[in-house]
A and B are shown apart, each in its own frame.
Chain A
Amino acid sequence: AQKITQTQPGMFVQEKEAVTLDCTYDTSDQSYGLFWYKQPSSGEMIFLIYQGSYDEQNATEGRYSLNFQKARKSANLVISASQLGDSAMYFCASFDMRFGAGTRLTVKP
């Protein structure tokens, strides 16, 4: 099973700036997938973006993109042009349902 590590318990970013949330994973599988979810204070988990191990390009979804470095086993989430509504917990997860500890992002006006 994969182990997912998020080393940033909390991050602050100024509105309209970009922020990178770190995620590293540990797997011996050749084929795997990684996900990022957002959890607002309401509690519901919202799927943001997916990266497959064989994808040739880094995933992008609107303001979200993944900085995927396979050799380093990292899949960092980049949020561009941060908005106040981006304030939430962010979780990195593996396809076999392992979640990192999460990063609490606070966007400052």
Chain B
Amino acid sequence: KAGVTQTPRYLIKTRGQQVTLSCSPISGHRSVSWYQQTPGQGLQFLFEYFSETQRNKGNFPGRFSGRQFSNSRSEMNVSTLELGDSALYLCASSPRFRTNYNEQFFGPGTRLTVL
């Protein structure tokens, strides 16, 4: 079974631009979550999608948005990029919606650099 894939792996943008990151979950997984990882803030939860619906959202401004398609693939978009958005963006998939046992399978991440 193929793992979680994220594209692109590396991205360089300038302030004010927007960016779209893509995540393909493991086949059969319906839950996709996104995280931002920075040296200063650590791993922070962005949002979670299940069956094309955003179920949970972290404490991020509205510039961060996402969606999930019928095949469970997910995209996240960041508009009006700021320098502080430079981070590793991790996507994780899970076969089920959040339960007490919610093992997540992570992709390799997209490293975004904002200049």
Contact partners of B70 in chain A: CB under 8 A: none
Pick from B42, B45, B101, B109: contact of A101, CB under 8 Å: B42
Measured CB to CB, the residues of A under 8 A from B are 31-33, 35, 37, 42-47, 50, 52-53, 91, 95-102
**When chains A and B are docked, how far (Å) is the Cα of A101 from the Cα of B41?**
8
CB distance from B98 to the nearest CB of A (A): 7
**When chains A and B are docked, how far (Å) is the Cα of A99 from the Cα of B92?**
13
**When chains A and B are docked, how far (Å) is the Cα of A101 from the Cα of B37?**
10
Contact partners of B107 in chain A: CB under 8 A: 44
Contact partners of A44 in chain B: CB under 8 A: 106-109
Contact partners of B98 in chain A: CB under 8 A: 95-97
**Does more than half of chain B's interface fall in helix, strand or loop, or is it mixed?**
strand
Contact B100 A45 (CB under 8 A): no
Instruction: Please judge, given known A-B contacts A45-B90, A47-B105, A101-B42, whether A95 and B33 are in contact too, CB under 8 Å.
Output: no
**When chains A and B are docked, how far (Å) is the Cα of A99 from the Cα of B33?**
13
**When chains A and B are docked, how far (Å) is the Cα of A7 from the Cα of B33?**
26
What number of B residues sit within 8 Å (CB to CB) of A?
23
Contact B100 A47 (CB under 8 A): no
Instruction: Please judge, given known A-B contacts A101-B42, A102-B42, whether A95 and B99 are in contact too, CB under 8 Å.
Output: yes
Contact partners of B106 in chain A: CB under 8 A: 37, 44-46
B11 on the interface (CB 8 Å rule)? no
**Does more than half of chain A's interface fall in helix, strand or loop, or is it mixed?**
loop
**When chains A and B are docked, how far (Å) is the Cα of A97 from the Cα of B99?**
11
CB distance from A55 to the nearest CB of B (A): 10
Pick from B56, B103, B108, B111: contact of A35, CB under 8 Å: B103
**When chains A and B are docked, how far (Å) is the Cα of A31 from the Cα of B101?**
10
**When chains A and B are docked, how far (Å) is the Cα of A98 from the Cα of B88?**
17
Instruction: Please judge, given known A-B contacts A43-B111, A44-B107, A44-B109, whether A95 and B100 are in contact too, CB under 8 Å.
Output: yes
Beyond A33-B100, A47-B104, A99-B35, 16 additional contacts (C-beta under 8 Å) are: A33-B99, A33-B102, A37-B106, A43-B90, A44-B109, A50-B103, A53-B100, A95-B98, A95-B101, A95-B102, A96-B98, A97-B33, A98-B45, A99-B42, A99-B43, A100-B42
